[in-house]
Structure formats: structure tokens, C-alpha cells
Chain A
Amino acid sequence: KAGVTQTPRYLIKTRGQQVTLSCSPISGHRSVSWYQQTPGQGLQFLFEYFSETQRNKGNFPGRFSGRQFSNSRSEMNVSTLELGDSALYLCASSTVGETQYFGPGTRLLVL
């Protein structure tokens, strides 16, 4: 089976812009979770989607949002980018309640 894929792998944006990141889960996995990793805060949970519904949400501002499509693919969006949003954004997929498998991540640099 193909693993979790994330696009793009690298992205450079400027402050105030918005960005959309994409995640394709492992075939058959219906749950998709997003995480942010920064040197200062480590790996932090953003949100989780299942059956196109957000089931869990971490402690992030409303500028961070996401959605899931009927084929389980997910996107996350960050609006009004700030310098502190520079991070590695990771997506993980699983069958419900089971082991999460991570993608390679999207590295976002905000200038």
C-alpha cells in the first residue's frame, strides 16, 4: 500500500498570505489528523477529521482550519500567515482508533 502523501513538500510564503496544504491518506483510512512541529513547541496536535467531520481540535487559533473530502483526502488552510507559522506540518492517517501513520510533512517557511 502507498503511504500517506502530502503536497507540496516545501512552501515559501510571506506574512499575511494564506496557504493550503493537502494530505492523501493510506487507502482505506478514513481518519486524518494534522500536527504542527516547531523547534520551540515540538509536535502539537491541530485537528482530526473523520467522515468529513472535525472530531477533535487542538489549541490553535481560528486561522488554522481544515476539511476532509468524501474520498478521505484532507486539506488544511492557514490564513493571514505569521512568522511563527513557519513549521513542519504533518498529516497522519488511520482506521478509526488505530495506529496513526504519518506522511513526510510539508515544510512551510513564512517570510
Chain B
Amino acid sequence: DAKTTQPPSMDCAEGRAANLPCNHSTISGNEYVYWYRQIHSQGPQYIIHGLKNNETNEMASLIITEDRKSSTLILPHATLRDTAVYYCIVRVAGWESGGSNYKLTFGKGTLLTVNP
């Protein structure tokens, strides 16, 4: 799986948009970009994933650059409960994994602190 680079920490004011960047310059064509977050001592929570196109769900938006070498996770209106470590992960698409559930390789992630 390709490696990712994220800033170690970011701050955001409550109610403002939080934009979390991720660099994955060695991503392959069959690799998805996944985002998870982990609130202290809880299990990681799936947020969103994408391959090429921008994606949006009820939690966040994912913007992937055209060359797929970087992406940005956007939390449109951050709340105090969004304070967490956010992980950007790239992993092989399911159809390429030979029937196996490819492991997730977690980096150190970005600690997002939402301030009141």
C-alpha cells in the first residue's frame, strides 16, 4: 500500500470548516483513499473513501486532486465532538485484493483540535 503524509496537528474554530490535507504521491491506480478518525481511546470510525472523483456523505467531503497524489478531507462545520486523530489511508481496491481483505496501514494521522 502507498504511504501517506499528514500534518501532525491542526486547529479549527468551532463552526468553521476543517480542511485536512493528505499527500499520497505514490498512490497506484487501483488504490482507494480512505479516511478514518479516532476519538480518544475509541475504535477508529470510518468517514469516507474515494478513488478518483470527489465524494460527499453526511459526515464529510473528500476532494482528490486530478493526479490523485493528494487529497483533502473537509468537515464543513466542525464541532467540539470532531476533535480526534484523523487518518488518511490508501489501500488496494477490493477487486484487486485477490479475495482477501487488504490490511489497513495506519500512519500517525493528524490530531484535529476544534476550539470553542
Contacts and interface: CB of A to CB of B under 8 A. Distances in A.
B94 interface: yes
Given A43-B106, A105-B43, A97 B93 contact: yes
Contacts of B99: 50, 55, 96-97
Contacts of B103: 33, 45, 48, 56, 58
Nearest to A43: B106
Given A33-B101, A45-B103, A55-B100, A97 B43 contact: no
- Interface size band for B: 20 to 34
A103 B43 contact: yes
Given A45-B103, A45-B104, A48-B103, A104 B42 contact: yes
B41 A94 contact: no
A107 B41 contact: yes
Contacts of B102: 56, 97
Given A96-B94, A97-B93, A97-B95, A50 B101 contact: yes
B43 A104 contact: yes
Interface stretch (B4-12, B44-52, B58-66, B67-75): B44-52
B53 interface: no
Interface in B59-116: 87, 93-95, 97, 99-108
Give the most central of B87, B95, B106: most A CB within 10 Å: B106
A94 B101 contact: yes
A74 interface: no
Contacts of B107: 42
Contacts of A58: 103
Interface in A78-98: 88, 90, 92, 94, 96-98
State the 10 A-B residue pairs at the shortest beta-carbon distance, nearest first. A97-B94, A102-B43, A43-B106, A31-B101, A45-B103, A55-B100, A102-B44, A97-B97, A104-B43, A105-B43
17 contacts: A33-B101, A42-B107, A42-B108, A43-B106, A44-B106, A45-B105, A58-B103, A96-B94, A96-B97, A97-B97, A97-B102, A98-B94, A102-B36, A102-B45, A102-B46, A105-B41, A105-B43
